[in-house]
């Protein structure tokens, strides 16, 4: 017996771009996690190809997976994973905010238009600027949640995914270095409050050839994790 897929349409607004002309990978990952199970248990999202903006895309729900396609081209797949995603470690908000002064992207940014970490106007982009935390292998930023990313039910999973995404890349990048997100596993443990203040922290967890691995988390002021992620980035040849 074959189970029929439930199809819906998804269009990514221009605002949520990462590299020029394509969607922010974390925004897509959060959107897929929400579509699969609300992100309340771990979801692994694999990006097979860049997701175009302002284009009608097909979102297919089949059994315990969700896929995103443009015509016959598979763009993204999401599946549940039985995994307890670990955070990189808590950094107090004031320390995380101070670390922003060391953000490599302030000197040279490969994706200055990125919704999450780009040099966009406040309220338009998220302006997550992670810098090194002295004496550790962590990068961190203080996130002051703008009301401009709030939906009817609070801050959506797509925004949470975008926050967790780029910082795992910056845990590796030096000046002039870049890569693209290949995979993001994400779990959302609690709501993000509009206007709230959170520490966003990441740690590099290894390299394998062109692949770079990292973990990230969003923490409440008291150190409680709100959401966690595990990322794989792929450097260009």
For 49, the token pair is: 């190809």
How far is 162 from 27, CA to CA, in rounded Å? 4
| 132 SS3 class | strand
Whole-prediction pTM value? 0.94
Q: Among candidates 181, 221, 214, 220, which has minimal Cα distance to 86?
A: 214
- What whole-number distance in Å separates Cα of residue 50 and Cα of residue 83? 26
What digits encode the pLDDT tens for the residues 117-129? 999 998 899 999 9
What pLDDT does 1 receive? 38
Lowest mean pLDDT among 64-68, 101-105, 173-177, 209-213: 173-177
Mean pLDDT for 122-138 is: 95
Using the structure block, give the residue that is written with the tokens 């692949």.
Answer: 211
Instruction: Indicate if the pLDDT at residue 152 is higher than 50.
Output: yes
Per residue in 16-42, pLDDT tens?
Answer: 999 999 999 999 999 999 999 877 789
Q: What is the mean pLDDT of residues 61-89?
A: 94
Q: What is the pLDDT of residues 87-100, one digit of tens each?
A: 999 999 999 999 99
SS3 of 80-129: the string is ECCCCCCCCCCCCHHHHHHHHHHCHHHCCCCCCCCCCCCCCCECCECCCC
Structure tokens of 131? Answer: 């810098």
pLDDT exceeds cutoff 90 at 176: no
Task: Report the alpha-carbon angle 11-13-14, nearest 5.
Answer: 135
Query: Does position 2 have pLDDT exceeding 70, yes or no?
Result: no
């Amino acid at each position: 017996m074959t189970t029929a897929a439930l199809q819906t349409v998804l269009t990514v607004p221009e605002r949520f771009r990462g590299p020029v002309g394509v969607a922010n990978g974390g925004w897509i990952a959060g959107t897929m996690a929400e579509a699969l199970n609300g992100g309340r248990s771990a979801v692994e999202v694999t990006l097979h190809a860049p997701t175009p903006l302002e284009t009608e895309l097909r979102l297919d729900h089949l059994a315990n997976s969700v896929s995103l396609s443009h015509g016959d081209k598979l763009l993204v797949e999401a599946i549940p994973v039985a995994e307890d995603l670990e955070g990189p470690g808590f950094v107090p908000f004031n320390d995380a905010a101070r670390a922003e002064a060391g953000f490599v992207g302030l000197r040279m940014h490969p994706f200055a238009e990125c919704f999450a970490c780009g040099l966009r106007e406040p309220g338009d982009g998220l302006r997550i600027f992670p810098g090194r935390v002295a004496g550790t292998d962590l990068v961190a930023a203080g996130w002051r949640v703008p009301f401009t990313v709030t939906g009817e039910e609070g801050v959506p999973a797509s925004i949470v995914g975008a926050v967790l995404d780029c910082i795992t890349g910056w845990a590796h990048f030096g000046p002039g270095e870049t890569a693209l997100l290949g995979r993001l596993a994400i779990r959302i443990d609690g709501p993000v409050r509009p206007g709230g203040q959170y520490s966003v922290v990441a740690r590099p967890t290894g390299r394998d050839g062109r692949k770079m691995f990292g973990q990230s988390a969003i923490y409440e002021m008291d150190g409680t994790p709100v959401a966690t992620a595990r990322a794989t980035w792929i450097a260009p040849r």
